[in-house]
Structure 1
Amino acid sequence: MFLALNEIKHSKLRYTLVIGVMFLIAYLVFFLTGLAYGLAQENRMGIDKWQADNILLSSEANDNLNMSMIDPKDFDKVDVKDKAELSQLSGIVYREGDKSEKENVSFFGINPDQFITPEVTEGKLFTKDNEVVADESLKINAGYKIGDTIILATNEEELTITGFTKNAKFNVAPILYTTLDTVHKLKYGERAQMQPMKLNAIVTKGKLTDVPSSLQRLTISTFINKLPGYNAQVLTFGFMIGFLVVIAAVVIGIFIYVLTMQKTAIFGVMKAQGISSSYIARSVIAQTFFLAVVGVGIGLLATIGSGLVLPEAVPFQSNALFFAAVSIMMVVVAIIGAFFSVRTIVKIDPLKAIS
């Protein structure tokens, strides 16, 4: 390590460039990791809030919540410790008197006495039809407040915001929690009274002992993975991050290799003086470790700093476990890349190098 650090001190500009390249790649990897995690969370936050074990959909729904239609009578046939009715609808709403600003939302019709009812962080829970509790992103990003009247664009149904809750999004859209009857009215409009009530899902917690044959059981993790676009998004970002980590290893490996080739004569003199190849190799590995750690560390700090100033509309979320795993992976692959230089050092002939 003594030799490695002294060489870095002697050639500050050269090694600063190596650290700079490592920093830029690390920053990009961390930023993409934060975006990938944030987008994934915005797809599933509303589901994670349930802290449930399973979800029951109609057997013909092909694992799609929107396509599922369940007779409310089947709810009583499900034998489990905790269960909750859920009716879901995707819609577009706007503030009363202002059609220019529209928001994509997801309505969750629930029974407020059941376990999937969200914790209200501001205001109060709905107590009657056409009242909603909204995700706080509508307040932060769109300026909605308690008491505002919002209108469903498809049938002009009016709703009143009574409260806000945190971390309630489904398929990236903020959730509006309301009564089951309200969602039924929003779905069918003036024809609501002529249409039988249908649920989209039954959410359960605990061991299921009896499920009607017309229903299909999915674990919550399976249901999340089958959300439209969720798996494709996670895999896309995963491959991008993986390739960037490999690119970082190649870049740092090339830099160290080029620097090693430039010092062939110096290493030859060192070998002629009796310094072993293993000592020189350890110095190169230590040097690579130092450069990678500094570059990755600065990239991580820059990413965390960027996350603090990004607007709420950007789906960026920090995750200490993911960042730690990516950091370790980048340092390890950078060291692996440096082993190509070690092979070169071992093959150096002192007589040829100094001749």
Structure 2
Amino acid sequence: MFLALRELKHSKTRYMLISLIMVLIAWLVLFVSGLAKGLSSDNASSIQNMNADYLVLDQNSDHRLSRSALTGDALEQVRLAMGADAAVNSSDRDASDTAMAEPLGVQMSAVTQAGSLKKIDATFFAVEADGMLAPKVTEGRMIGADAAEEVVADSSFKAEGLKLGDIIEDQTSGRQFTIVGFSEGQSFSHSPVLHVNFAAWETMQASGPRAMGGSGAVGEVSADGGTGEVSAAGEVSANEGVSAAADSSADGGATAAGEVSATGEVSAKEGLSAAADSSADGGATAAGGASTDGAVSAAGEVSATGEVNGAGEGGAGVVFNAIAFKGSGSTAAEVGAQVSGVDVISKAEALKGIPGYKEEQGSLLMMIAFLFIIAAFVLAVFFYVITIQKINQFGVLKAIGAKTGFLARSLLAQVLSLSVFSLAIGIALTYGVSAVLPDSMPFELNFSLVGGSALLFLVVAVAGSLLSLYRVAKVDAIEAIGRAA
């Protein structure tokens, strides 16, 4: 160490230039790492911070939340597969119950503040207000369990001028909500998250595209050559042969092609009349036909090809996107084996299903990897050139009795001293830049990220000096002194 420090002091300019190169490389590595972490959080922090271990998605969703559609039946099957009582509300169970499973609704949209035309991208997350998926409120309060017009917003909405008590309007459904609380670290696909309960979610679905016969319909009704779609909320939209007269009742009834009573009785024109009320899960039996598991059949080929679930706990009467639960890998395997038509994935797999997440992170991680490789080569070349210039000095030192180990330790001491000094400056510069970056810049640094990057940088620096160490070990004292003479 004594020899290393004396040489650093003697050749200040040479080693300051090397140190400057190391500072710039360390700074660039840390900055790109912070950018990668920030983009990751901005894209998926709502999933990363979710109090769950696994997500259950529709088998045909390609592990994408936005493509998945599940019903209350799937939720009950998951809870039964986990050994939980499907008939018991999750709010009545102990919060530490690892068998707890809850529905999750996800809908990307845009909102406007009341009295303003400026649209703000947002993603609605439907959760049980008192469940495990409810976000931690940092300001204000949590939404009420039955309040259909309240929302908890991510704190990034404050940058748009929103505050507690403001009213926002969802551009997809036209529903208005009052901001009653703010949360931290809740974003999805680079848009801030608005948390609502399933009372609000049901009204949104009833007013949204699914209620208009678009995607998300869970059944069809055909009659005399015409078809109509049954929405998630139970509405029927008619095409040609079927005319819708009213929304579905709370217990799954529907009105179409004539008259449908509030209890689910169906009477169709042209002599087709219903003879029974709808069942508990939304099914109905019409004259001249039979129904099973929610199917609606009638003389004259009036049939439903899907199910309409009745109102129930946890949003069982609407379509949601996923079921989140806490448990071990064996529990996840049991759910996957017992529940048909679903995929059970971890949160890490769910992150990869977010559009652009895998590609974005893959590109940045490749950049960081190449920066470390470049750093190793640059440092190796610098120290090897310096070592070659000092071959004669090493020969003299070996001739007077210096051991190879002593010379190797001296070289490593130089490398580590320069690396630590450069890292300290690089870290200070990175934090200084992050302090002046705008809030809209997705940049995030934490101790584990900085510590891991610094440790890897030191390893790369030492690896880059191995070529120089090999050259020092091979120095022949007589040959070196002979060249010097």
The answer, yes or no, to whether TM exceeds 0.5 is: yes
Is the partner of 1:40 in helix, strand or coil?
helix
Given that residues 63 and 349 in structure 2 are in contact (C-alpha distance below 8 angstroms), is that contact kept between their aligned partners in structure 1?
no
Determine if the alignment matches structure 1 residue 354 to structure 2 residue 372.
no
Determine if the alignment matches structure 1 residue 123 to structure 2 residue 175.
no
Given that residues 148 and 203 in structure 2 are in contact (C-alpha distance below 8 angstroms), is that contact kept between their aligned partners in structure 1?
no
Could you report, residue by residue, the CA deviation over 1:220-248 in whole angstroms, capped at 9, with x for unpaired residues? Answer: 23222332222222322222112111211
Distance 2:122 2:451 in 1: 34
**203-212 or 8-17, which deviates more:** 203-212
The alignment yields a C-alpha RMSD, in angstroms, of 2.3
Structure 2 counterpart of 1:170:
188
Larger relative contact order, structure 1 or 2 (CA cutoff 8 Å, min sep 6): 1
**Gap change, CA 1:49 and 1:333, over 3 Å in 2:** closer
Determine if the alignment matches structure 1 residue 204 to structure 2 residue 325.
yes
TM-score, normalised via structure 1 length: 0.90
Given that residues 57 and 217 in structure 1 are in contact (C-alpha distance below 8 angstroms), is that contact kept between their aligned partners in structure 2?
yes
Distance 2:153 2:418 in 1: 48
Could you report, residue by residue, the CA deviation over 1:195-253 in whole angstroms, capped at 9, with x for unpaired residues? Answer: 22311111122346555313222222322233222222232222211211121121122
Q: Which runs of 5+ in 1 are unaligned?
A: none
Q: 2:413 aligns with which of 279, 286, 295?
A: 286
Shift of 1:273: 3.7
Could you report, residue by residue, the CA deviation over 1:113-159 in whole angstroms, capped at 9, with x for unpaired residues? Answer: 322112222122223223211011111x2221012122233454332
Distance 2:481 2:208 in 1: 94
Structure 2 counterpart of 1:233:
360
Determine if the alignment matches structure 1 residue 87 to structure 2 residue 105.
yes
Is the partner of 2:67 in helix, strand or coil?
coil
**318-327 or 62-71, which deviates more:** 318-327
Total equivalences in the alignment:
353
Given that residues 271 and 350 in structure 1 are in contact (C-alpha distance below 8 angstroms), is that contact kept between their aligned partners in structure 2?
no
Shift of 1:307: 3.0
Correspondence list, 1:1-355, <5 A: 1-78=1-78, 79=80, 80=82, 81-100=99-118, 102-127=119-144, 128-139=147-158, 141-154=159-172, 156-187=174-205, 189=207, 192=211, 195-196=231-232, 197-206=318-327, 207=331, 211-345=338-472, 346-347=474-475, 349-355=479-485
Which structure shows the bigger proportion of residues in helix conformation?
1
Given that residues 89 and 183 in structure 1 are in contact (C-alpha distance below 8 angstroms), is that contact kept between their aligned partners in structure 2?
no
**Gap change, CA 1:284 and 1:51, over 3 Å in 2:** same
Is the partner of 2:360 in helix, strand or coil?
helix
Distance 1:7 1:269 in 2: 16
Question: 2:150 is aligned with what amino acid?
Answer: E
Distance 2:397 2:49 in 1: 63
Question: 1:227 is aligned with what amino acid?
Answer: I
**58-67 or 230-239, which deviates more:** 230-239
Question: 1:71 is aligned with what amino acid?
Answer: T
Given that residues 268 and 353 in structure 1 are in contact (C-alpha distance below 8 angstroms), is that contact kept between their aligned partners in structure 2?
no
Is the partner of 2:66 in helix, strand or coil?
coil
Question: 1:195 is aligned with what amino acid?
Answer: S
Distance 2:464 2:28 in 1: 20
Given that residues 88 and 183 in structure 1 are in contact (C-alpha distance below 8 angstroms), is that contact kept between their aligned partners in structure 2?
no
Q: Which runs of 5+ in 2 are unaligned?
A: 83-98, 213-229, 233-317
Given that residues 109 and 121 in structure 2 are in contact (C-alpha distance below 8 angstroms), is that contact kept between their aligned partners in structure 1?
yes
Distance 1:187 1:16 in 2: 64
**6-15 or 309-318, which deviates more:** 309-318
Shift of 1:296: 1.6
Given that residues 269 and 354 in structure 1 are in contact (C-alpha distance below 8 angstroms), is that contact kept between their aligned partners in structure 2?
no
Structure 1 counterpart of 2:95:
none
Question: 2:175 is aligned with what amino acid?
Answer: E
Given that residues 384 and 467 in structure 2 are in contact (C-alpha distance below 8 angstroms), is that contact kept between their aligned partners in structure 1?
yes
Distance 2:7 2:29 in 1: 28
Given that residues 109 and 183 in structure 1 are in contact (C-alpha distance below 8 angstroms), is that contact kept between their aligned partners in structure 2?
yes
Max radius of gyration: which structure? Answer: 2
Given that residues 392 and 481 in structure 2 are in contact (C-alpha distance below 8 angstroms), is that contact kept between their aligned partners in structure 1?
no
Question: 1:164 is aligned with what amino acid?
Answer: F
Q: Percent identity?
A: 33
TM-score, normalised via structure 2 length: 0.67
